[in-house]
Amino acid sequence: MNKTNLLWLTAVAVHTYLFYNQAQGYNAPVFSLVLIVLVGAAHRALLSFRYWWMGATMQLIAAIAVGWHVSGWLQTIYVCSLFVFVGLTYAPRSSLHLAWLNGLVGAFLGGFANHLPVLRKEFSAQTGKTFQGLFRFKPSFLVFPFSVTTAFYFLYNWANPAFTVDFSFFTTHINFLFIGAKLIGIVWLCPLFFPWGIESAVEEDSRRKDELVRIRKVKKGILPLMLRYQNQQGVLLFGMLNALISCFILFNVLQMLIPDLQQTPKGFSEQVHEGFNALFISVLVAIWLIMYYFKANQNFYPKRKRLVQLSLLWIVLNGLLTVFTFYKNALYIDVFGLTFKRIWVYMALGLTFGGLLFTFIKIIYLKSNWYLIRRTSWLVYGVLICYGLVDWDRLITWYNIKEAKNLDMGYITELGPTKLPYLLELIQQKDARIVGFENKIKTQIKNWKYYHREHQDWQSRTLDEDWLRKIMIEQ
């Protein structure tokens, strides 16, 4: 058995030990760390690729988040990060979306099916001619003979019920769930050690460079005319957009300084969310317009200076609008407290600012649209992964109880179980803010204690669960 096969089977054994008959918990970060070491040992060349390390780090962070406070959403993110890691093992320079696709295809039978003929050949070589005849055929070759024989067995059993085979041995001595877990590990871990993917898609992706290249195969006279038309149109468009967004920002500032301008039928919450929606659409359209007017040879047009200046000004003004929306959301949180929607607004504003920054770099350093797509996709992916590191239910409960001027206790009681120690403390203090919710909170505490009265195996436990058990049960 060669080294790669041995590392593959080691990964399968570790996967089975950690996850068989277990929920996701501490087993996730342990498995991810072991997997990175084993894959790195199998493919030393990958250690020099930055994107492979990024994929490995992201899936390790996602695994740590699962081991901290597991949830259905985090489990999905963790599995997706493993697909990305598989894809980057096959093509470490590929774009994020293609890495995910290659990982998905490879993990679901693609990689194993591609490696199966090699396994049959190696097995036949090691066992001699005894099994060569059997492994020469495809599995489908055996289906018809076995099916007909089984049908005749049941026919004879029907004719004489005493003619039967006792299958109880298989049901009592063979653990089919364990075998299934082993097979799942064998199949989905195979492309990590014997990489496989969509080669044509990888080749096409490699041709999409981050740097712009001037196109010269155009009929003489046509290209300058097209470039001049697009340039003049872009200057007019961005000039008008800059004037409009400047007026909008100025009006919003005056609204804050002059109370008479704040007369609006909409509430503060609606203003914040609709303001964010308008900003988000504005930035998406801005990026799309810049991708359109700064494509191909337009970036090399000699008279592009005015268009560049107006586009950069448009990016800066959208950045100021982002900061202003951030400030309004902060004021809203100061009065009404944190919620998941308000946290998501902060995340989206951060992503918006990052998208504007990459767009700025694209214009200044003559980058292609693919550069913008690749960097933005990694930014979104990284934010989603890191979002899972925070126990937001716990943070929201703590912040709203300590800092919020208006506490929505109905919202707090609907959060996850890590809110319970803070609510228990309010009950013990006989805080007036829990009037009307005390029985509901006590029921939630009682139910949590009942369902967690027994210790789980270490693989299935999480950091939050151990923290809650220490406070709610062991004290």
Helix pair 420-429, 438-451: axis angle to 10 deg: 130
Write out the two tokens for 373.
């797509």
What local confidence, expressed as pLDDT, does residue 159 receive?
A: 74
What local confidence, expressed as pLDDT, does residue 475 receive?
A: 58
Rounded percentage of the chain residues whose pLDDT exceeds 90:
38
Nearest to 291 by CA among 375, 347, 217: 375
Average pLDDT of the residues in 326-343 = 87
Task: Give 176 or 9, the one with higher predicted confidence.
Answer: 9
Task: Give 451 or 120, the one with higher predicted confidence.
Answer: 451
pLDDT in tens, 401-446: 998 888 889 999 999 999 999 999 999 888 888 888 899 999 999 9
What local confidence, expressed as pLDDT, does residue 265 receive?
A: 46
Lowest mean pLDDT among 92-96, 270-274, 470-474: 270-274
In angstroms, rounded to a whole number, what is the distance separating the alpha carbons of residues 226 and 221?
A: 9
Q: Decide if 111 contacts 191 (C-beta within 8 A).
A: yes
Average pLDDT of the residues in 304-318 = 89
pLDDT in tens, 175-222: 667 787 788 888 889 999 999 999 999 999 999 888 877 666 555 555
pLDDT band, residue 35 (cuts 50/70/90): very high
Lowest mean pLDDT among 15-29, 156-170, 378-392, 436-450: 156-170
Average pLDDT of the residues in 67-89 = 91
- Residue 290 pLDDT more than 50? yes
In angstroms, rounded to a whole number, what is the distance separating the alpha carbons of residues 163 and 4?
A: 48
- Residue 262 pLDDT more than 70? no
What local confidence, expressed as pLDDT, does residue 404 receive?
A: 84
In angstroms, rounded to a whole number, what is the distance separating the alpha carbons of residues 353 and 283?
A: 9
What local confidence, expressed as pLDDT, does residue 164 receive?
A: 73
What local confidence, expressed as pLDDT, does residue 104 receive?
A: 92
Enter the pTM of the model.
0.82
What local confidence, expressed as pLDDT, does residue 155 receive?
A: 77
Task: Give 399 or 276, the one with higher predicted confidence.
Answer: 399
- Mean pLDDT of all residues in the chain? 84
pLDDT band, residue 126 (cuts 50/70/90): low
What local confidence, expressed as pLDDT, does residue 233 receive?
A: 87
Lowest mean pLDDT among 144-148, 418-422, 468-472: 144-148
What local confidence, expressed as pLDDT, does residue 472 receive?
A: 81
What local confidence, expressed as pLDDT, does residue 167 receive?
A: 59
Average pLDDT of the residues in 334-340 = 88
- Residue 140 pLDDT more than 90? no
Lowest mean pLDDT among 27-36, 68-77, 286-295, 419-428: 286-295
What local confidence, expressed as pLDDT, does residue 440 receive?
A: 92
Task: Give 148 or 141, the one with higher predicted confidence.
Answer: 148
